């Protein structure tokens, strides 16, 4: 096989969901936006439904429609972007539940889909999605008359437990929702780890399910193996790749691997990433090109068939640090060209 192989460990995914579920007395949903953080929303959601997840979250209605076909009629599917113009038919046909973000969305929803369930997203200071406090004060009466399923907000700094924004947003969320008698949801992965004050009735983990920071106890869910296309010997002083950015300081053996920035191997990894052969680290040398990378395998005893970029020795967060980004971006950049293999059923 000449493309990289991305192995998705569904047993590890399920174990991460159960571990997060055990941390709260709240119900645990699952966020599967961006095609399940790049791993395949259908396979991820089907497995988590088997574990007991009943509520799934996506970013936009289009994702929800695809997910509905994969999951069948039972589970609830929520759409963070709410009810946008042009969404009405999709929301109705796929029985998606929009998390309404503004007076405009509320009006559109009540007018075009009367009686169709919805939730409300409130802005508590992140200034990204949700009703502003003043708009909520104006519209809460009408919204509550139509019985929203959930009142929800999102934390901006939950991956930093000591950040003052967490307590601030919690306080605002309480002020906006206390005593209204509607079930509430505030926390994603980071908020779950902040403790019971943040849990309310439903938690919405994403990254923790997929093995990422800040859920440090997570099991690794992805493994990425890149096949070796060819190997060659370099004399001391020879150079590798575009821009001659790497020069051999000793006689070296260089392997060329299938996989490049078109596959989500961020170009910022040039001269910075490490791959592994078993437990032996092998440095990426030279620039990442569109379809290929070059790796120093001088210290291996034999030419390998493939090297591992994500696996037991190196998770998504370690690779993200090398690229100056976050695990979320590594996962959602994983290329379409990889063969996606499932482990666990």
Question: Is 206:189 a contact under the CB 8 Å cutoff?
Answer: yes
Q: Which of residues 238-277 bind ligand PLP (CB under 6 A)?
A: none
By the rule CB under 6 A, 184 interacts with ligand PLP: no
Q: How near is the Cβ of 151 to ligand PLP at its closest, in Å?
A: 13
Nearer to ligand PLP, 199 or 204 (CB): 204
- Enumerate residues 6+ apart whose C-beta is below 8 A from 165: 125, 155, 156, 157
Q: Does 189 bind ligand PLP (CB under 6 A)?
A: yes
Identity of the residue, 153 or 308, whose beta carbon is nearer to ligand PLP in the bound complex: 153
Burial class from Cβ neighbours inside 10 Å (0-12, 13-18, 19+) for residue 42 reads: middle
Bridge partners of residue 252, in order along the sequence? 234
Query: At closest approach, how far in Å is the CB of 247 from ligand PLP?
Result: 41
Q: Which stretch binds ligand PLP (CB under 6 A): 41-49, 136-144, 186-194, 231-239?
A: 186-194
In the annotated binding site for substrate, the residues are: 128, 290
Look up residue 218 and give its DSSP letter.
P
Q: Provide long-range contacts, Cβ within 8 A and 24+ apart, for 196-202.
A: 196/24, 196/25, 197/170, 198/155, 198/158, 198/166, 198/170, 199/24, 199/25, 199/26, 200/26, 201/26, 201/27, 201/150, 202/26, 202/27, 202/28, 202/29, 202/55, 202/150
- Residue 109 or residue 204: which is nearer to ligand PLP going by CB? 204
Does residue 188 interact with ligand PLP by CB under 6 A?
yes
What CA–CA distance (Å, rounded) separates 159 from 38? 21
Q: What is the CA radius of gyration of the chain?
A: 23
Answer yes or no whether residue 31 interacts with ligand PLP by CB under 6 A: yes
Min dist CB 328 to ligand PLP, Å, is 7
Q: 49 vs 262, which CB is nearer to ligand PLP? A: 49
Kindly identify the residues of this chain, within the stretch 296-335, that bind ligand PLP according to CB under 6 A. none
Q: How far is the CB of 41 from ligand PLP (least distance, A)?
A: 13
Catalogue the active-site residues: 33, 242
Kindly identify the residues of this chain, within the stretch 142-161, that bind ligand PLP according to CB under 6 A. Answer: 154
Binding residue for ligand PLP, selected from 68, 90, 199, 204, defined by CB under 6 A: 204
Tell me if 218 contacts ligand PLP by CB under 6 A: no
Candidates 17, 78, 80, 246: give the one binding ligand PLP (CB under 6 A).
80
* Binding positions: 128, 290
Element (H, E) at 107: helix 103-112
Structure tokens at 205: 């983990």
Give the bridge partners for 342, in sequence order: 8
Dist. CA 116–CA 198, nearest whole Å: 29
Interface residues with ligand PLP (CB under 6 A)?
31, 33, 80, 154, 188-190, 204-208
């Amino acid at each position: 096989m000449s493309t990289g192989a991305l192995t998705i460990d569904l047993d590890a995914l399920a174990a991460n969901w159960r571990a997060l579920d055990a941390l709260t007395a709240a119900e645990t949903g699952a966020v599967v936006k961006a095609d399940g953080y790049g791993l395949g929303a259908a396979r991820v959601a089907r497995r988590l439904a088997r574990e007991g997840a009943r509520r799934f979250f996506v970013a936009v209605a289009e994702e929800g429609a695809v997910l509905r076909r994969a999951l069948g009629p039972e589970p609830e599917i929520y759409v963070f972007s709410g009810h946008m113009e042009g969404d009405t038919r999709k929301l109705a046909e796929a029985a998606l539940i929009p998390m309404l973000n503004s007076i405009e969305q509320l009006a559109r929803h009540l007018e075009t889909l009367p009686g169709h369930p919805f939730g409300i997203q409130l802005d508590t200071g992140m200034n990204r999605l949700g009703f502003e406090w003043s708009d909520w004060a104006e519209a809460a009466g009408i919204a509550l008359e139509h019985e929203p399923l959930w009142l929800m907000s999102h934390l901006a700094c939950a991956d930093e437990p000591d950040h003052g924004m967490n307590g601030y947003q919690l306080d605002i969320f309480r002020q906006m929702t206390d005593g209204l008698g509607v079930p509430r949801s505030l926390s994603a992965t980071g908020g779950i780890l902040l403790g019971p004050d943040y849990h309310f009735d439903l938690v919405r983990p994403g990254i923790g399910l997929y093995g990422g920071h800040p859920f440090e106890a997570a099991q690794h869910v992805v493994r990425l193996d890149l096949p070796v296309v060819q190997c060659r010997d370099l004399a001391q002083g020879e150079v590798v790749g575009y821009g001659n950015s790497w020069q051999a300081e000793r006689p070296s053996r260089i392997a060329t691997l299938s996989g490049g920035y078109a596959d989500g191997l961020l170009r910022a990894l040039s001269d910075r990433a490490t791959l592994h052969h078993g437990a032996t680290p092998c440095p990426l040398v030279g620039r990442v090109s569109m379809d290929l990378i070059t790796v120093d395998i001088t210290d291996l005893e034999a030419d390998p068939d493939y090297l591992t970029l994500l696996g037991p020795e190196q998770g998504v967060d370690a690779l993200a640090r090398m690229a100056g980004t976050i695990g979320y971006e590594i996962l959602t950049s994983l290329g379409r060209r990889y063969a996606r293999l499932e482990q666990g059923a």
